[in-house]
């Protein structure tokens, strides 16, 4: 792509970051230049975020209906899976899977709740009430 053809479309991330791309200058040499965005990429990112927000809302309803514990909600909210949460908390994956059950979560002590709260960067009270401060 030629330097003058490098997309500079506004997107959700254009205020925060720019992407480095390889382009061809007027002499035919490859150089790097910064792009603020591209409509196609913005559309794909917007669709992905819409899907993520739908998944978060779906899990929120399951927590309210007492089908899963708040741990699953905050995993979705922080875009974590069990492997990542295990690494952050130091808990075994099977322990986390067990803590996804609401009846087990209700019996967790302050030490375990604090581990989860630290991993999600929230308070224990936020963990129990699904408060995200957003």
Query: Is the dihedral angle over the CA atoms 76, 77, 83, 86 positive or is it negative?
Result: negative
Question: Is 80 exceeded by the pLDDT of residue 13?
Answer: no
- Any domain includes 112: yes
The per-residue pLDDT of the chain, averaged, comes to 93
Over the stretch 19-46, which tens digit does the pLDDT of each residue have?
899 999 999 999 999 988 888 888 898 8
Q: How much is the pLDDT for 59?
A: 98
In this structure, the answer to whether residues 46 and 107 fall within a common structural domain is: yes
| CATH of residue 54 | 1.10.260
**How long a stretch of residues is the chain?**
134
- Any domain includes 134: no
pLDDT above 90 coverage of the chain, percent? 74
In this structure, the answer to whether residues 83 and 109 fall within a common structural domain is: yes
Q: Which residues contact 118 (CB under 8 A, 6 or more apart)?
A: 88, 89
Minimal CA–CA distance to 80: which of 100, 104, 101? 100
Q: What global pTM score does this model have?
A: 0.79
């Amino acid at each position: 792509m030629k330097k003058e053809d490098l997309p500079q479309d506004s997107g959700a991330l254009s205020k925060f970051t720019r992407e480095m791309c390889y382009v061809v200058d007027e002499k035919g040499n490859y150089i790097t230049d910064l792009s603020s965005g591209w409509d196609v990429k913005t559309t794909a990112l917007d669709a992905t975020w819409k899907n993520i927000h739908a998944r978060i809302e779906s899990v929120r309803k399951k927590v309210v209906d007492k089908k899963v514990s708040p741990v699953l909600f905050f995993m979705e909210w922080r875009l974590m899976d069990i492997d990542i949460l295990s690494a952050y908390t130091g808990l075994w994956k099977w322990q986390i899977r067990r803590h996804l059950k609401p009846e087990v979560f209700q019996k967790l002590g302050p030490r375990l709740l604090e581990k989860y709260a630290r991993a999600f960067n929230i308070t224990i009270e936020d963990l129990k009430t699904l408060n995200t401060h957003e």
